[in-house]
Structure 1
Amino acid sequence: MSASGRARREAIRMLAAERLTPGDKTADIAADLRIGIRQVEKWHSTFNHGGIKALRSKGPHTVSRTSAGR
């Protein structure tokens, strides 16, 4: 995923986190943000275990092939 894609996804996670705190239903959050209910449930679990910091992007999963010294 590109850096802009990661930033976009992180922004959505932060919007969801704002609504998880007051206790909105996951189905309502998912519908409003146009994402899957299961994804909101995963984020809720992550949020409960590590707070807002745990929802922040950790960067790319792998190094791109073009930057690996080719």
Structure 2
Amino acid sequence: MTTIVLNLQRVRERITTACVAAGRDPACVRLLAVSKTFGADAVMEALLAGQRAFGENYIAEGVEKIL
């Protein structure tokens, strides 16, 4: 497994743990991955690992990564 995949797993586990402790449904929390300093390969890796929401500073940079 790659660092990106492992990091996503760890963050998702932390979200689930925090939600359970707070009495919230983990499905109500959305993870927004910030991709502004990563290339298209890293974004694709996260996408293949199930990440669907990404944040970018500039539309043009985001478009380059998804096309």
Task: Decide: shared fold, TM above 0.5.
Answer: no
Instruction: Provide the TM-score with structure 2 as the length reference.
Output: 0.35
Greater share of residues in strand: 2
Instruction: Provide the TM-score with structure 1 as the length reference.
Output: 0.34
From the CA coordinates, give the structure whose radius of gyration is larger: 1
